[in-house]
Chains A and B, each alone.
Chain A
Amino acid sequence: MTRQARTDKSFPAAGGQPAAAPEELAILGIGLPAWNRLLLVAGLVALVVLPFLVEGFTTFQMTQVAIYAIAILGLNLLTGYNGQFSLGHSAFFAVGAYTAAIAMNHFGLPYLLTLPLAAVISFLVGFAFGFPALRLEGLYLALATFMLAIAAPQLLKFSLFEPLTGGAQGLVLMRPEAPAFTGLDDDQWLYFISVIVMLALFWLSGNLIRYRIGRAIMAIRDNPLVASALGINTPLYKTVMFGISAAYTGVAGALSAMVVGFVAPDSFNFLLSVALLVGVVVGGIASMRGAIFGGFFILYIPTVAESFADVFSKGLSWAAYGVLLLAVIYVMPSGISGLIDAVIRRIAQPKQAPRRTDPAADVATAGPGPSNREKK
């Protein structure tokens, strides 16, 4: 029974916030498996059909949304689930992108193989950075990672590395071409690669979050002291999470290098880190599908803001963006994903749903692991 319930909660529907709100998850899990399955199927169909319905440029944008979603998910694993701040994810994005570009340009590696390579190298970089990060918390960690974001473009431009990185000019790489048998054009091909990678990574992190490691890292987030008293190896988990998070973002970077066909130091500046953080918060902290909403937000909202601002003055587009951002925080304090949860809950369970009286709710929430028990 429990197993069944678990498998039903596959990613797009209830990847949500297991530790943050066990009761709500139970309500979703009981009230909604049919909804969930429906949503999942509809979502998958839409993903497959979409590139055949829209123009090439929209497909390209959708590819970018998928890529951002991967990076945001990576940051969310670290920030949302493990409670470690990072303003330095643009650096990991850059590591992934340059790994792919250098491997393809200098070593002739096939483009698909650059993805695992980027994951491994970014993991190592993130893991290494996780060590000094262990001693730092909150703001201090935010600053240390901020430094990483600032230093990354400078290091990429550094003259000693220029033969490898191409210096300030960056590197141009061959955009992968769609194999002839698929009958797809290049944009569509890259779209499908990105989406498949995205789905695979979402599935992986869903498993990561749901089982032992997920409980451990959330326990560390909620109360590090209790977590270590319960025998969780806090330093190990924290550094490994830094690595995993960096690996996700690195894969996103590698995909982006392929899709754009170009890498340059200044596209991986601090603003990218800020955009990713905004994506995490707007999508929903500690929410997996929130990453997708976040991806849409950071790709499209600047454009929307621009069209709003055009009414008054061109220069005001960033002001409009800021106002929109504030509005989102006021209206949706738990992000788009939190808003959707609330709406679904209201539709699915109109009047009833007295919380915590349902015996099945306890079955679903009372899994082993420290985080649940500690909450009470």
Chain B
Amino acid sequence: MELLLQQIIAGLATGGIYACFALAVVMIYQAIDHFNFAQGEMAMFSTYVAWQLMAWGLSFWLAFGLTFVFSLVMGAFLYLVVLKPVQNASALSQIVAFIALMCIFNSLAGTIWDYSVKPFPSPFPETALFGALVTGHDLGMIAVTLIMLAGVFYFFKFSTLGLAMRAAAQNPESAQLCGVRVQMMTALGWALAAAIGSVAGMMVAYKVFLEPNMMYSIILYGFAAAIVGGLDSPAGAVAGGFLLGVVENLTGVYVPGGSELKLTFALLLIVVVLMFKPTGLFGHRVVKRV
């Protein structure tokens, strides 16, 4: 029983990482009605920027703030320069554009900061809690995720700008006719998504260490968590992240052969969830008129 509890807590701690990213994924989905496969690499690049700023002697939170601003600008810039020209191309072409971005960021980071694994500091105290399963950093990370979630929720639910952004993503033409500046909104969505991704990157880098391929598996779980939770529900995405972390940990311990097939089981869960709830656990059904 105690083992179970411990594993659940450890799972929640890992789940925090996934939740962080799932939130960023949902954010961009709200803004552009698409997945951004390059999201993980963008976050990795931002995290490197933060690392560089700290290497130049800035404090963590100062570097954090500057990186946040940098990512806002980078997100909007990427949209305007790279994605806008292909926004009328087929969805497949856009996916290929994302893949191209992924290659570019990975390679750039590797060239500028080389491929060695770097430690990344944590702003939170190192104290270990619950029998060394959870550290102060885990709690801090979860807190930051929840604060971001609250912010995103408030933004989309109650602010006019958030409403305009949702409109621009879901129905660009009608939004345009209502006076929403769709291009601006999409650029803003990219900016925010890049910034949230950068926060997630700076939070998880302490745990997974900084290297160009650090996001490879995390972003996967982030996508998975977002899908399980429902792509149009930020809270669902966060819940999906925690769920995934716990399930992954428990199968590793209790299912025979589970430690080798951790990932496979987690993915099986997702496919099963999707078969019964095709829009995710907390997603809303979209009813389309013919």
* Chain A contacts to B: CB under 8 angstroms: 79, 85, 132, 135-140, 142-144, 146-147, 150-151, 154-155, 157-160, 225, 274, 277-278, 280-282, 285, 313, 315-323, 325-326, 329-330, 333
Contacts and interface: CB of A to CB of B under 8 A. Distances in A.
A316 to B, nearest CB: 5
A319 B95 contact: no
Contact of A325 (B103, B220, B227): B103
Nearest to A323: B104
B96 A282 contact: yes
Main secondary structure of the interface of B (DSSP, over half): helix
Given A151-B267, A317-B107, A139 B92 contact: no
B134 interface: no
Contacts of A142: 35, 95
**Of listed B89, B267, B279, residue having the most chain A CB within 10 A:** B267
A280 B279 CA distance: 28
A333 B97 CA distance: 11
A313 B223 CA distance: 33
A322 B104 contact: yes
Contacts of A146: 220, 223
A322 B111 contact: no
Given A146-B223, A278-B96, A322-B101, A316 B107 contact: yes
Interface stretch (B69-77, B139-147, B192-200, B256-264): B256-264
Contact of A333 (B34, B89, B106): B89
B260 A151 contact: no
B281 to A, nearest CB: 13
Contacts of A282: 96
Given A150-B263, A154-B260, A319-B103, A136 B35 contact: no
What class of interface size applies to chain B in its complex with A? Answer: 35 or more
Given A277-B95, A281-B95, A333-B86, 9 more contacts: A139-B231, A140-B227, A143-B224, A144-B271, A158-B260, A274-B99, A281-B92, A318-B106, A325-B103
A143 B240 CA distance: 15
B223 to A, nearest CB: 6
B96 A277 contact: yes
Task: Name, among A132, A157, A319, the residue most crowded by chain B CB atoms within 10 Å (CB to CB).
Answer: A319
B280 to A, nearest CB: 8
Tell me the dominant secondary structure on chain A's binding face.
helix
21 contacts: A132-B274, A135-B278, A140-B278, A146-B220, A147-B224, A150-B267, A151-B268, A160-B257, A278-B99, A315-B107, A315-B110, A320-B107, A321-B100, A321-B107, A322-B102, A322-B103, A322-B107, A325-B96, A325-B97, A326-B100, A333-B93
A158 B257 contact: yes
B92 A280 contact: yes
Interface string B254-290: 0001001101100110110011001100000000001
Given A136-B274, A139-B35, A155-B264, A326 B97 contact: yes
Contacts of B110: 315
Most buried by B among A138, A150, A325, A326: A326
Given A135-B278, A319-B104, A321-B103, A329 B97 contact: yes
A246 B14 CA distance: 35
Interface string B215-257: 0000010011001000100000000000000000000000001
Contacts of B106: 318
